[in-house]
Structure formats: C-alpha cells, structure tokens
Chain A
Amino acid sequence: MAKTLYVDTTKCLACRGCEVACKQWNGLKADIRSMRGSYQTKEGYAPQTYTLVNMRELPTDDGGVRWLFGKRQCMHCTEATCMMVCPKDAISRTEEGAVVIDQDKCIGCGYCAQNCPFEVPQVDQKLKKTFKCTLCADRVANGLIPACAKTCPTGAIQFGEREELLEKARARLAEIKGLFPNAYLYGEKEVGGAALYLLTEAPSYYGLPRAGTQVPWQVKFWKYFARPVGEIALGATALVALAGIFFTYVAKPKPEHPVAKGGSAHGN
C-alpha cells in the first residue's frame, strides 16, 4: 500500500523545523541568501533544499493579515510526470510509494525539472544531477517516518497509509469548513492522487497549481502520440528498406525489362 505525507496547514506554525530536519537527515548544506523582505526562509526548492514552508499574507476584512503557511515537498504523484519524461529511466517508485531519483542513472538533463507540474526537481548544474525529496525512502524502508513528519511539533505533518490519511484529512476538512469556507484538500484528485495538503484557501493562494492539476497535456501528447508515431514511422521505413533489400537481392525480380540502360523515357 502506498504511503504518503499529509500536511494540515491549519496546524502549521511555520517553525520550519521540517526544513532543518530535512537538511540534517539528508546531509544537505544550508542555502544562505540575503533577506528579501519576507519571513519565508527559502525562496523555493533547490538542489540542496527538498522541503520548505511557503508563507503568504492574506489581508483580512478588518484590516489585519492572516498568514497562510504551506509546508511543501515533492508530491510523490501516483501519475508522476517526472517518471514519464525521464529519458534514462532514472526515476522510479519505491514499494512504499515514494518517487525517487537514481543518482547513478541521472544525467541532469532537466526534463523532469521542466515538466513537473509543481516544479519540484532541481538540477545541480555543477554535479549534473537532479535532486528532490525522497520521502526519506531510506528511513521509511527501515520502519521510520520521514524526518519532516518526525520533527513536526504540532502534528501538522503526518505520514502513513494514504487511505487512512485521506480519511483523516476529509474529516478535518469537514471540521474546518465552517471557519474556512474555501478550504480544499489538495492532492486527493490531483495527478492521480498525491501527497495531501489541507488548505484553508484555494491552491493559488498558496502558490500551488490550480485544483485538479494533472500531468501536463504536452507531456501526454509527447508520450502517447509524438513519440509512438515517430517510432512507428521510423520502424515502418526500416521495414520497407529491409523488404527492399530482400526483394532486390534475395527474391530477385525477373529480368523483364532492360535495367537502367537504353532510352526508357520513364523516371524511377
């Protein structure tokens, strides 16, 4: 059974312990940048940054501000675009449901980075390798839970069987609907089912792709039309050439006309 992460943003304090725990467990260097006028520590994913807490300010009717905290990481999609586009078959799914990159096979081409609907994979241009959250596959394989979920002090990040978490999240959604009428459970239907984010507003308020996001149509066009059609065309002409060699040199034509000599006025 597939396991996944469930982030209940209503419980998130933006302590960013998950960011630190992730860096610590995965041995990722700090990505030190100058202050950009926001409490948000990380501007986005980076080869050394697998998870971050996105912070948005939402003006309220009484002139105040409501914080929207969105802890995010790779969605580990059931229909994973990165897996579809990787030309080296370097991306696979673990038994537990994590989508992971095999660094030995990765060539850093960036196909996954360009096509991921959530723009998660990050190419390290120096190493020529692509990095993203592994759902702590090494921890999970040994019976532990991902570092971010383990460290979260409020229980905003939970890890477990997707079905169980889904039930929990749906119940919680019903609970908060009164307080947040626009609340939405992101990841339930998106990309064939993915990590769950319980949001208090529409996904765009959190800087996430719209509700119902699926594998990009260009990628489907690529995988299910362009490439098969091209390969069939190439295979067909190769067959014609092979057949031509066979019928020309093995099953030779009867010499019923003068070959390439004389004044035949017809072109070939």
Chain B
Amino acid sequence: MATKIGAQEGGKVYRFAPAERVAHWVHTICFFLLLLTGLAVFWPGGNAIASLFGGIQVARIVHRVVAFPYAIVALVVLFGWAPEQTKEWLRISWSWSKEDLVFVAGYMPELMGRHNPNLPEADKFNAGEKFNSILTLVTGFGLVVTGIIMWFPNFFPKWLVRLAYPFHDLSWLGMSAMLVIHIYLSVIHPRMRAALEGMISGWVDKEFAQEHYPKWYRRVATGAGKK
C-alpha cells in the first residue's frame, strides 16, 4: 500500500506522493528543454545553444515536440495518479487570504538568509509556493495557447497571431523570473533547501515541516484530515 501523506518514520514526514514528484520533474525537464530551444530562436546569441541540439532548425523542431509533454504529462500524471493531492494543491494555491500577503511582504529577510519570526503560519504550501504554482499554471496555459497560435498562424486571425508573440514572451520571462527564486530557495538557500529532498524522496525532516509548514504538519500528522 502506498505511503500516506503525513506518515512519519525516523524523524521524517512524508510530504509528496510519487505522482507529485514525477509530475514536478517531467515538467522541469520539459521546461528547461523548451527554455533552451526557445532561447536559441529568441536570442541573437543563441546559436551556440542551438548547436547543442544540432542546429537551429533541429532546435525549433525539438521546441515543438517537447511542447506536447510540457502541456500534457504533468496534468495527466497529477489528476490520474494523485487526484486527492492535486485537488488539495490547487485548492490551497488558489485560495488567498490577507495572511498570504503578509507572508509575501515579510519574506525578504528570509530570502537574504535572515529570520522573520512574524511570518504567518503556512499550510502545505506557503504564499510564495502558492504564487509559484499559480504562475506555473497560468504561464503554462498561456505558453501552450500562444504557442499553438504561433505554430499555426494560418488558422487564426492576424491580430491574434501578432498578439501571441508578446504574451509568449511575457509568459516565459515571468516564469523564468519566478524560477530563479524557486531554484535559489530549493538548491542554495540554507534553511529552505531541505525542501528539495521532499521533491526527490518524498520525505522531509520533521523539524523542517514543523517550522515551515506548521498548519499542514498539525493537520496531517495528528490524524485530522489524514488520508
């Protein structure tokens, strides 16, 4: 039987189901392939990147091919394999309260390696992670829709095709901006990078969960709302 979210073992808490982790990494790989092949076209100096793929024309084809798993796989895996966790993730991500704004406003010292003791308590995802999730969904949708329009311009009115370009750029630049912080926190930041283990093995340290996601920890680890 699959390990339950919130299960504890050896000082660790189970945080992410296999579906969540697989979806995360498939999406990551797709995004980076799309980012590189996109830069090959977008950026005048991108020819060096293009040669990694075998030339600019191959890079353009890779961009279109990878767009399919980028658009589909994560959603299929999440809804097909872990519908409960996915619904919870979406519910938490899309419900915002004043506390979340307080969290975002007070997070700068944390980013700089300091501690802000006045941050509101987070559930399974803190406000920054919620914003990251929303941005991933919104820009992902935007990139796919504008990408289809740019790929098949003859099927769409000219004004819409022309509008697809700026929104494709806004979406990837916005997502990349968020991604810089996401990677900084999960790989470099001394107290937040413990989260990375949660996305690899599924397990995080109990202390980490208690400190960073107290509401979630109390909710799932005490049995209330336990799946």
Footprint of B on A, CB under 8 Å? 85, 87-89, 107, 109-111, 114-115, 128, 216, 218-219, 221-222, 225-227, 229-231, 233-234, 236-238, 240-241, 243-245, 247-249, 252-253, 256-257, 259-268
Contact status A218-B163, CB under 8 Å: yes
Q: Which of B114, B126, B150, B180 contacts A267 (CB 8 A)?
A: B126
Contact status B208-A260, CB under 8 Å: yes
B226 within 8 A of A: no
Q: How far is the CB of A233 from chain B (nearest CB, A)?
A: 4
How long is the Cα–Cα vector from A249 to B112 in the complex, in angstroms?
10
B188 within 8 A of A: yes
How long is the Cα–Cα vector from A241 to B183 in the complex, in angstroms?
9
Question: What total of A-B pairs shows CB separation below 8 Å?
Answer: 150
Q: Known A-B contacts: A241-B188, A267-B119. Give 14 more (CB < 8 A).
A: A88-B44, A107-B57, A109-B41, A110-B153, A230-B170, A233-B173, A241-B184, A244-B112, A245-B184, A253-B114, A257-B115, A264-B117, A265-B214, A267-B215
Nearest opposing residue in chain A for B112, CB measure: A247
How long is the Cα–Cα vector from A182 to B213 in the complex, in angstroms?
73
Count residues of B near A (Cβ-Cβ below 8 Å): 58
A sample of 20 cross-chain residue pairs with beta-carbon separation below 8 angstroms, ordered by A number, consists of: A85-B165, A110-B153, A114-B161, A221-B166, A222-B166, A226-B170, A229-B170, A230-B177, A237-B180, A243-B112, A247-B113, A248-B112, A256-B115, A257-B117, A260-B207, A262-B207, A265-B214, A266-B119, A266-B214, A268-B191
How long is the Cα–Cα vector from A233 to B64 in the complex, in angstroms?
26
Contact status B162-A253, CB under 8 Å: no
Q: How far is the CB of A161 from chain B (nearest CB, A)?
A: 32
> Which residues of the other chain, A, contact B117 by a CB distance below 8 angstroms?
257, 264, 266
Q: How far is the CB of B192 from chain A (nearest CB, A)?
A: 7
How long is the Cα–Cα vector from A219 to B121 in the complex, in angstroms?
44
How long is the Cα–Cα vector from A238 to B176 in the complex, in angstroms?
10
State the main secondary structure of chain B at its contact with A.
helix
How long is the Cα–Cα vector from A152 to B74 in the complex, in angstroms?
62
Beta-carbon contacts under 8 Å, B24-60 to A = 41-44, 56-57, 60
> Which residues of the other chain, A, contact B183 by a CB distance below 8 angstroms?
241
Contact status B120-A218, CB under 8 Å: no
Contact status A231-B110, CB under 8 Å: no
* Binary contact track B135-176/A, C-beta < 8 Å → 1, others 0: 000000000000000100100001101110111011011101
B189 within 8 A of A: yes
Contact status A267-B214, CB under 8 Å: yes
Contact status A244-B184, CB under 8 Å: yes
Which of A87, A111, A227 is most buried by chain B, counting CB atoms within 10 A of its CB?
A87
Closest 9 CB pairs of A and B: A230-B173, A248-B113, A222-B166, A226-B166, A218-B162, A241-B184, A267-B122, A233-B177, A247-B112
> Which residues of the other chain, B, contact A234 by a CB distance below 8 angstroms?
173, 176-177, 180
B194 within 8 A of A: yes
Q: Which of A110, A115, A247, A257 contacts B162 (CB 8 A)?
A: A115
B211 within 8 A of A: yes
B181 within 8 A of A: yes
Question: Contacts A89-B44, A226-B167, A260-B194: A236 and B121 contacting too (C-beta < 8 A)?
Answer: no
Q: Which of B113, B169, B181 contacts A252 (CB 8 A)?
A: B113
How long is the Cα–Cα vector from A249 to B115 in the complex, in angstroms?
15
Contact status A107-B192, CB under 8 Å: no
> Which residues of the other chain, B, contact A110 by a CB distance below 8 angstroms?
153
Which of A222, A225, A259, A261 is most buried by chain B, counting CB atoms within 10 A of its CB?
A222
> Which residues of the other chain, B, contact A115 by a CB distance below 8 angstroms?
162, 165
> Which residues of the other chain, A, contact B8 by a CB distance below 8 angstroms?
none
Contact status A87-B43, CB under 8 Å: yes
B223 within 8 A of A: no
B86 within 8 A of A: no
> Which residues of the other chain, A, contact B114 by a CB distance below 8 angstroms?
247, 253
> Which residues of the other chain, A, contact B170 by a CB distance below 8 angstroms?
226-227, 229-230
How long is the Cα–Cα vector from A21 to B117 in the complex, in angstroms?
78
How long is the Cα–Cα vector from A199 to B141 in the complex, in angstroms?
46
How long is the Cα–Cα vector from A219 to B159 in the complex, in angstroms?
10
How long is the Cα–Cα vector from A233 to B158 in the complex, in angstroms?
29
How long is the Cα–Cα vector from A87 to B49 in the complex, in angstroms?
15
B130 within 8 A of A: no
